[in-house]
Amino acid sequence: MKNRIFVVLAVIGLLTTSSNPLIAGQALQPVNIASSATGQTGYIASMIEAKGIDVKYGLKITNLMMDFTEAANAIKLGRAVASAMQPSTAVNLIKSGTDIRLTIPQVWSGNSWLVKKDSPYKSFADLKGKKIGNFARVTGAFFFAAVIAKENKLDLEKDFQNIPAETGALIALLERGDVEAINMFEPHVTRLVMSGRYRVLVDFDIALEEIFGAPPLKSTIGMLKETAEKQPQLVKALRSIYGEAVQMIKKGQDDEFFKTKAKEFFNLSTPEEIAAGIKVNKENFADKWGDSFFQSQNKILQSGINLGLLPNIGDLNALWIK
């Protein structure tokens, strides 16, 4: 299990106080936000709605639960005002002509290279030439893995035999011994390790934080540049809402709510799995923002650009609403 202590920047105070709570009688602003129907992005969206955190800051959020890739395109299609998305997705959208700005952090990657517990591998380099189960090339999970490989002077596509698959199929590949390792994300990592049959070979968040100074951000809330410029109060309200929700999770104030949603969003059922899931959830929600954080994420993105996995959009600093 991870035992990483996150440094809470002073900006978090801004995120949780930057929009005044709703005055009695004030009309709520309806907002459609696209989010993943599963995992931590779906969980925090559900919690905000259930706890009425959006109403507290003058919004009535309608969460459009969908596939993560589809959610990112919902802004482009005009279905949502904001969307959960990866920074790498924002880069691709900007290149295609949809000018996106990122407003607040949500979740670190939570990905790891998993191997069988009794496997001989001690480092990622030991897997060179081996079959590994991986997500598709267009995903952030592949992108993060490629950056880690590059930093170890390896080429993810040339030095390994990548077998692309989706989540369930990847787990099955490792169980059957068809691959030596798989790229997997939380909470599946915790659940598989708890089975006693698997172990973490490389934790993406730890590895990339050691290299770049911060874990890689998997999920943030993005919106059109035009929307951000025309509706600064909306930006402030969303920062307050998500900032407060993240801090509730960090402080364990959502533990009972997590237990009711553990099966729905994380496929966790036993008391041991749920307890471990709560711990991981606290660690994986992101609470960093500000210049040093942006520089770290920009370096990770630039590595992806250098690898040809992301398009060059010029100044990466323009991505972030400061």
pTM of the model: 0.86
In the numeric block, the tokens 């920047």 are attached to 9
H-assigned helices in the chain: 11-17, 39-51, 53-56, 68-73, 87-95, 140-151, 167-176, 188-194, 204-212, 225-230, 232-250, 255-266, 271-284, 291-306
Sequence ranges of the domains in the chain: 11-109+217-319, 111-212
pLDDT at residue 68 in the model: 74
Closest by Cα among 287, 290, 206, 289 to 248: 287
Fold adopted by 111-212: D-Maltodextrin-Binding Protein; domain 2 (3.40.190)
Q: Determine the angle formed by the axes of helices 204-212 and 140-151, rounding to 10 degrees.
A: 50
Q: Alpha-carbon torsion 302, 146, 311, 74, what sign? A: negative
Query: Within the chain, which residues score under 70 in pLDDT?
Result: 1-26
Architecture field, domain 11-109+217-319: 3-Layer(aba) Sandwich (3.40)
CB environment 101-113: b (16+ within 10 A), e (fewer): bbbbbbbbbbbbb
As a whole number of Å, the CA-based R_g of the chain is: 19
Q: What is the pLDDT of residues 77-88, one digit of tens each?
A: 899 999 999 999
pLDDT at residue 67 in the model: 81
pLDDT at residue 21 in the model: 58
pLDDT at residue 6 in the model: 36
Equal fold, 11-109+217-319 vs 111-212: yes
Closest by Cα among 56, 64, 66, 65 to 29: 56
